[in-house]
Amino acid sequence: MADAMRVRIALLGFGPVGRSFAEIVADRASELERRYGVWLSITAAVDRTGGVVDPDGLDAGLLVQAKRAGSVAGYPGKGRLGLGSLEALSLSHADIALEATSVNLKDGEPGLTHVRMALSSGRHVVIANKAPLVLAYPELLSLARRYGVALKFSATLGGSLPTYNLGARDLAGCVIERVDAILNGTSHYILSRMNAGDPYETALREAQRLEIAERDPRLDVEGWDAASKLVILANSILNIPARLEDIAVTGITHLGREDLPLTMLGVALRRPDGGYTLKVGPERLSQDHPLAHLPPLSMGIVFHTDLVGPMAITVNERGPKPTAAAMLRDVLEIVRKEKK
């Protein structure tokens, strides 16, 4: 397509999600060009070891190959050990920075600095890493507004589940009275396997093999990943300035056979004063609950509203690619607006 719009992308973080995004680009850049009139050009990719930059565009397939062999720093001819994200970002001429480094709930780094730098240099940001939003949602949103760029985070609310669009856009005008959510795939998977009689350790190892567990799996099994998603949901959909410390969090590591069957649930319950009570922990669901029978690799959410009643969405995800697909939908939404 002669008049396809070229969009330069910097991939900051090349773990399972970043790699999956590059895989999607490698597989279907031409199809995306045909369908959306956009040519997605990855101009920088950085992992923990180093990175590679070429403002003219890197070969997404070679990036994936280099990563499988160890690091994107091994990209033929151009990769550099020790190349840092900020240098790569500034050399990349990227229009959109994709932030997919590991979650660090202590200080949000390195993701928080990546997002601040990208926004304040006039770049759109698409983020899969929850920590910067959990720790600095209002600041980052106002930074994006100040620089007239987009900050998209639909990949932080349960993999590919369109939680944000449903809650913030499609239920506009409704009062959300309660949210029930299975937003952490790993703990749902582990509890489902334990409910079926399997040991905790076996299920956790399998979640790690499937690349759905966090780099530090305590974030999953102690409830912090689900709580992080609830914080982002509360800020972005319920419009309350919730923080992690506002959530009562219980993990699944202490459970014994006698406690089962249980499902790891995040709940937001609207109070008469308009605020919400937020909690995350294992719950016994009634048989008729819309999330009671989700298969092991699923996530799901139910919005209970005054005008349209309960509305539920679920997904079955076998690995990190659906989260990368959520980043792609954010990228395409930015592109669609730019093209208008």
The angle at the Cα of 70, spanning 213 to 91, to the nearest 5 degrees, equals 95
Nearer residue to ligand HSE within complex by CB, 111 or 185: 185
> Pattern of binders to ligand HSE over 230-259, x per CB under 6 A?
------------------------------
Kindly list the distances between the CA atom of residue 137 and the CA atoms of 11, 154, 184, 208, in Å, as whole numbers in the listed order: 21, 14, 20, 29
Q: Is 237 helix (H, G, I), strand (E, B) or coil?
A: coil
Q: How far is the CB of 265 from ligand HSE (least distance, A)?
A: 13
Query: 64: Cβ–Cβ under 8 A, 6 or more apart, which residues?
Result: 19, 22, 23, 26
**Segment near ligand HSE (CB under 6 A); pick from 87-95, 115-123, 163-171, 181-189:** 181-189
Sheet with 263-270: strands ordered across: 247-249, 276-283, 263-270, 176-182, 298-305, 309-316
Write the interaction track for ligand HSE spanning residues 183-202; mark x where CB under 6 A is met and - where it is not: -xxx----------------
Task: Find the part of the chain contacting ligand HSE (CB under 6 A) among 137-145, 178-186, 265-273, 281-289.
Answer: 178-186
According to the binding rule CB under 6 A, does residue 213 interact with ligand HSE? yes
Does the protein bind ligand HSE through residue 60 (CB under 6 A)? no
Query: Are the C-beta atoms of residues 146 and 139 closer than 8 Å to each other?
Result: no
CB closer to ligand HSE out of 89 and 221: 221
Stretch binding ligand HSE (CB under 6 A), from 38-46, 164-172, 206-214, 276-284:
206-214
Answer yes or no whether residue 225 interacts with ligand HSE by CB under 6 A: yes
Which among 79-87, 88-96, 182-190, 281-289 is the span making contact with ligand HSE, rule CB under 6 A?
182-190
Q: b vs e for 252-261, b when ≥16 Cβ sit within 10 Å of the residue's Cβ?
A: beebeeeeee
Tell me which of 159, 167, 282, 322 binds ligand HSE, using CB under 6 A: 159
Could you give the CA distance from residue 86 to residue 55 in angstroms, rounded to a whole number? 15
Query: Which residue has 């780094």 as its token pair?
Result: 109
Nearest distance in Å: CB 30, ligand HSE: 29
End-to-end CA distance of the chain: 18
Q: Is 296 in the site for ligand HSE (CB under 6 A)?
A: no
Q: Sign (positive/negative) of CA torsion 59, 61, 62, 67? A: positive
How many residues bind ligand HSE (CB under 6 A)? The answer is: 10
Cβ 36 vs Cβ 52: under 8 Å: no
E strands in the chain: 5-12, 38-46, 50-53, 80-81, 96-99, 124-127, 151-152, 176-182, 247-249, 263-270, 276-283, 298-305, 309-316
Cβ partners under 8 Å of residue 168, min gap 6: 236, 237
CB of 244 to ligand HSE, least distance (A): 15
Least distance (Å) from ligand HSE to the CB of residue 206? 12
Q: Closer CB to ligand HSE, residue 88 or residue 182? A: 182
Contact with ligand HSE (CB under 6 A) among 54, 220, 222, 330: 220
Q: Is 337 considered catalytic here? A: no
Q: Least Å distance between CB 99 and ligand HSE?
A: 13
300 binds ligand HSE (CB under 6 A): no
- CA-CA distance, 181 to 307, in Å (whole number)? 20
CB of 176 to ligand HSE, least distance (A): 22
Longest dimension (CA), the chain: 64
Residue among 229, 279, 321, 340 flagged as catalytic = 229
Active-site residue set: 229
Which residue ranges make up the site for ligand HSE (CB under 6 A)?
A: 159, 184-186, 212-214, 220, 225, 323
